[in-house]
Amino acid sequence: MKRQHDLVEPNDLSPTVDVDPSSAYTSQWIDVKKSNSFMTTMTLEDIANFEDMNAEDDYKRTTILTEVARVIVFLDRTSQAIVLDKIVERIEIEPCSDLTTMALHVLGKYMAFPYVDGVALLHLLIDYIPKTNSTRVRAKVYGLIAALVSCRQVIHDQQSQNKMNDLLTNAKRDVYDCHFCIRCECLTLLSILPTVFERQALSKHSSSSVWMHKDHQNIIKTFLTDPCPQVRVSALKALVAMRARGYILEKELYGLAADSLKDEDEQVRLVALDLIRLLSALYSKTMVLVSPENQVAALHHKERTQIRLIDDAFARVCDLINDLSVDVRTKACTMLRSFRDVDSGVLQQAFSKQIIMRSKVRKPALTGPPTYTHRKPVVASGDRTLSSEDFRISESGACGAFIHGLEDEFPKVVNAAIDSICELCMYHPALVPKAAESLVDMFNEEFVLVRTNAINSLRKLATKTKVTLTAEQLIVSAGVLEDGVKTVRECMLDMLKVVHIGNQEDILLLLSYFMRNHTGFPDDELAILRAARHIGLNHCQLIETMVPQLLNFNMRFLAREPNVRDFSYTLNCILVANACSRKPGILKGLPSFTMNHFHYYERKYDGCVPNFKGIDILSCANVTGKGNMPFRTPDISFFRIGHTVTQQIDSFMKGSVDLMSLVYQSAASSDFSACQDHINKAETRFSRITELESRHAHVAHFAMLYLQGYKIALKANNVLTSGNAFDTLSDAATLLKIAYKMQYAFFGQSSGTLEAIHQFKLFAHWLWCFGAMKDTSLSSSKLVTPGTFMSLVARIDTIQSHISNTCSYFDTLTSLRKTLITYPSDQTVSNLSKIQMTIKSLVPIPIDLTQLVKRLWATIHAPVTNPDKPQRFHAMFPVDIKVDAKITQAFDLSRIGVQIILADHTHVYHWPRPNEFIPVSPGTKRLSTTISLPSSNVQKNEPIQIAIVRSFDPELPGIDHILSTPPTSTTQPSADILKLTAPLNQTSAVVVSDSVAMYFKS
């Protein structure tokens, strides 16, 4: 036997590091100066009592072999070489067969090391076969050889070829050994050896390599009837493995495989299913005799009925759906999906428990004169004499197979049957009606996974083939919308998008179930409306005659405008709107206000109402007449009739911009009363424009935000004589938030507009400083003396770095900065008044509203405010909140996040992954993410606020956080206002959506 150093190859391609060069162990096959850097963690010194490998006590040898097997992969190269040498020596002299098996197990771990010479190791094992009389040891050796030759190149020269021939001879001899372990391992080895011989270019040394696989098949198939079930399993696995290596199996194996399906051992039946599948794919159109039971009837009629092999195999697999073993039933149901070429009649039989006859009942032919008997046999009415050829036995095997699978008590069997039904119906559309009937019955199963799988399977079928639900099926399907599991309801709504409804009564029935779903689960509002969109698109012909009934109006009378916030009307309106996109003629019969409602819902519910820009609405719809305001929200009326919509909006926007000039003039002349009136009028006009989907909507939002800040900025002129400290500090926080929101929630601002935004930051800082001075509790504090005004100097330096020297207030800032620097050394009233007069001379500069800006905004579709239906949570598990939102003008997605305000007013931020932003259109993304909150952050009957935010880097991190925090009756300005270089570890973000309040209950 070769020593360890003969078993290791010199080539080493793995990363290496140097080890101790003083090592005394050397080998010509391994460089002990190199070792795997990521594997070298231990040496032989770390193995306690390694010398016990040669101990006389069996327990000690067992212990050390167990420890070596555990740490062998962590040893360095030198230690592995020493261990391999000891293991080989131990195998030669070990008297205990159990310990020899353990040593062989350790030896088998060396096959995973690329630097071990696999050929030498193989020769060692082959030479050891005749040396042992232990059946367990020989079985272990054959197992190691099979594992080695299946993954290593073992034939290099004539010597290795001769060794493999010796191995083949031993395997053919020992395959008939009396011990089942040896027979099993030899069968596995015989299935691999043909590949080993044919894999190499040296196969020319063996003339038998061409027919070897056929010879081995003949040997292996004789063991399919072996008395031992383990051997039968190994024989079946060997045949499956040979087919996996590309060899053609003989069709005569089908009969043996079919008999194995009736084996008493569960594992035999499981593996036999794999062999049946392979043979049915190889010889699908081959004609075979029917089962022996049918042959008896066939011989009685002097016929030999034949059937296609794939049809017979399908029936035999169907028989196993009634097997006692759950695993066999599951695998049989799973395997049915692979029989795509089965006859349609056989598949139809699988959906019915009644045997379907292949032909009509034939009347017996009269061959002679009638004979009479004294007693006429009594025949019940309707009884007929049927011959065996009127039925096909294989179909009776498939009789009701899918029904039995769907009625199984184990959910994994039912799911496997559902998957097979869905897969087969994809290739046999004629089966879809029967499949739909069976799948709908599964919608009320007790297991959630079964209900979900059945719904999704029917949705897949309806996507490929038209599926029309009957009234009973629709009632069962719509009843699922009251399921307590949200996932099931969402799957059902997705299924209803693609199925077809037969008549108008069923559509009205489905709408009533939608209303019940919305009443019970308000969170499903958007999903319901999106389902209504697809129903309207798919059933436009039915909806065309239902419009007066859905919208509740009479063509002979003037229609009353309904409430757009009524969900029943919203649902019907979205249904009609999508039907109009397929049949624009419906628009002609709609009331005058309906088109306005369409555009209102288009803006409110993302993806629910089609865009009518491609349709000539003015020529199709009734959009003129008294009280009709085209393209507006229904509750506002300020446009003149007779002008196009664009002209009206442009004219109204121009008037609003002109009104802003009056605001600037009043502020410049210190007429604050008139300025306030003009601001209120301008806010009203801009508010109306924001409700319209036009090119001025974003500018109007920006103008409204500017006017809110403008009113607060004017207070800086008389901050010492009006208001209290609490209100002043609150105004400072609000103004600073407005400034940052104008800067980071909008895009495309001009340089003059940015200068106005920075001026707002200056006014906010000034208001905070004097608000702190007004607080009598802080009048003697150091916070309102030099440090407070020095923070204002830092603000001025930051602003001047962002504006140009030609800015209208740049010189004023320079003068103010000089005064503030001298204030710590000259803290007099006159100096403070000088600062006040300098601030008072600063009037908020105007902004350019003629330049279009884009607004970053998000609309949260889920969750929705749920005070009536709080979400349940368990104190032991985290609370998962699914957030679905549409974000417009979203470019820097790394800055977009979700803000959660807990019941104790603590802010928590969730930053979604990039793949959770789904592109919808250029600049528009859909956010779909899940937030997991610890149950400790959720309180009963205490809502949490959820909003979409955009983070930013503040100019003065520590100071801006203090200024932007709204004060309370107990809070005071923090001392951190003096630490200008120590920013707080806080997240700064602007809210870019409306907040949603979530309620919970335990």
pLDDT at 199: 67
Q: What is the pLDDT of residues 386-397, one digit of tens each?
A: 443 343 334 346
**CA–CA dist 215, 146 (Å, integer):** 18
Q: What is the pLDDT of residues 219-254, one digit of tens each?
A: 999 999 999 999 999 999 999 999 999 999 999 999
Of 232-236, 268-272, 322-326, 810-814, minimum mean pLDDT range: 810-814
| Confidence grade of residue 383 (pLDDT, cut at 50, 70, 90) | low
Domain membership flag for residue 963: yes
pLDDT at 361: 38
pLDDT at 365: 45
Domain membership flag for residue 100: no
* Two tokens, residue 548: 């007066």
75 three-state secondary structure:
strand
Write down the mean pLDDT value for the chain.
Answer: 80
Of 713-722, 962-971, 975-984, minimum mean pLDDT range: 975-984
Q: What is the pLDDT of residues 500-556, one digit of tens each?
A: 999 999 999 999 999 999 998 888 888 999 999 999 999 999 999 999 999 988 877
Range of the domain at 573: 468-613
Say if residue 410 is in the same domain as residue 510.
no
Position 831, amino acid: N
Name the most confidently modeled range: 633-642, 830-839, 891-900: 891-900
Say if residue 736 is in the same domain as residue 871.
no
131 three-state secondary structure:
helix
Burial class (CB in 10 A: 0-12, 13-18, 19+), 584: middle
pLDDT at 967: 67
pLDDT at 635 over 50: no
918 three-state secondary structure:
strand
pLDDT at 986: 72
Domain membership flag for residue 779: yes
Say if residue 946 is in the same domain as residue 816.
no
Say if residue 546 is in the same domain as residue 647.
no
Domain membership flag for residue 93: no
Q: Is the torsion defined by CA of 435, 437, 438, 439 positive or negative?
A: positive
pLDDT at 912 over 90: yes
pLDDT at 975 over 90: no
Say if residue 863 is in the same domain as residue 887.
yes
pLDDT at 373: 42
Let me know: does 735 contact 709? Beta carbons within 8 Å: yes
pLDDT at 785: 53
From the list 103, 108, 194, 97, the residue with the least C-alpha distance to 155 is 194
Looking at residue 919, which CATH number applies to its domain? 2.60.40
pLDDT at 425 over 50: yes
Please calculate the CA angle 918-909-897 and round it to the nearest 5 degrees.
25
Q: What is the pLDDT of residues 689-720, one digit of tens each?
A: 887 767 788 999 999 999 998 888 887 665 44
Say if residue 480 is in the same domain as residue 424.
no
**pLDDT, mean of residues 640-648:** 57
**Quick one: which H or E segment has residue 406?**
helix 401-406
Determine the longest span between alpha carbons in the chain, in angstroms. 143
From the list 907, 914, 1000, the residue with the least C-alpha distance to 946 is 907
Say if residue 882 is in the same domain as residue 835.
no
Say if residue 837 is in the same domain as residue 860.
no
pLDDT at 572 over 50: yes
pLDDT at 858 over 60: yes
Strands 896-901 and 907-910: antiparallel
The CA radius of gyration of the chain, in Å to the nearest whole number, is 42
Domain membership flag for residue 107: no
pLDDT at 600 over 90: no
| Confidence grade of residue 822 (pLDDT, cut at 50, 70, 90) | confident
Say if pTM beats, i.e. exceeds, 0.75: no
Say if residue 664 is in the same domain as residue 807.
yes
pLDDT at 668: 82
Which residue would you say has higher pLDDT here, 39 or 409?
409
Report the domain count for the chain.
4
Q: Of 817, 841, 865, at which residue does a domain stop?
A: 841
**pLDDT, mean of residues 479-484:** 92
pLDDT at 647: 79
Q: What is the pLDDT of residues 24-34, one digit of tens each?
A: 555 433 444 44
From the list 146, 247, 125, the residue with the least C-alpha distance to 198 is 247
Say if residue 555 is in the same domain as residue 688.
no
Domain membership flag for residue 32: no
Of 371-375, 413-417, 637-641, 836-840, minimum mean pLDDT range: 637-641
pLDDT at 897 over 90: yes
Q: What is the pLDDT of residues 772-811, one digit of tens each?
A: 766 544 444 443 456 677 788 888 888 888 888 888 888 8
| Confidence grade of residue 641 (pLDDT, cut at 50, 70, 90) | very low
Q: What is the pLDDT of residues 986-1001, one digit of tens each?
A: 788 999 999 999 888 8
Residue 939 pairs with which residues in a beta bridge?
942
Let me know: does 459 contact 498? Beta carbons within 8 Å: yes
pLDDT at 174: 93
pLDDT at 675: 87
pLDDT at 558 over 90: no
pLDDT at 432: 93
Domain membership flag for residue 171: no
Q: How many helices (H) and strands (E) does the chain have?
A: 38, 17
**CA–CA dist 535, 539 (Å, integer):** 6
Domain membership flag for residue 996: yes
Q: What is the pLDDT of residues 485-494, one digit of tens each?
A: 889 999 999 9
pLDDT at 705: 92
Name the most confidently modeled range: 113-127, 264-278, 584-598, 974-988: 264-278
**CA–CA dist 646, 632 (Å, integer):** 11
Which residue would you say has higher pLDDT here, 32 or 408?
408
User: Please, how many CA atoms are within 13 Å of residue 444, restricted to the half-sphere of its CB?
Assistant: 11
pLDDT at 645: 64
Say if residue 527 is in the same domain as residue 581.
yes
Say if residue 540 is in the same domain as residue 593.
yes
Distances (CA, A) of 31 to 71, 85, 89: 21, 16, 22
Looking at residue 353, which CATH number applies to its domain? 1.25.10.10
Of 284-298, 342-356, 465-479, minimum mean pLDDT range: 284-298
Name the most confidently modeled range: 2-16, 68-82, 773-787, 867-881: 68-82
From the list 626, 627, 629, 658, the residue with the least C-alpha distance to 643 is 629
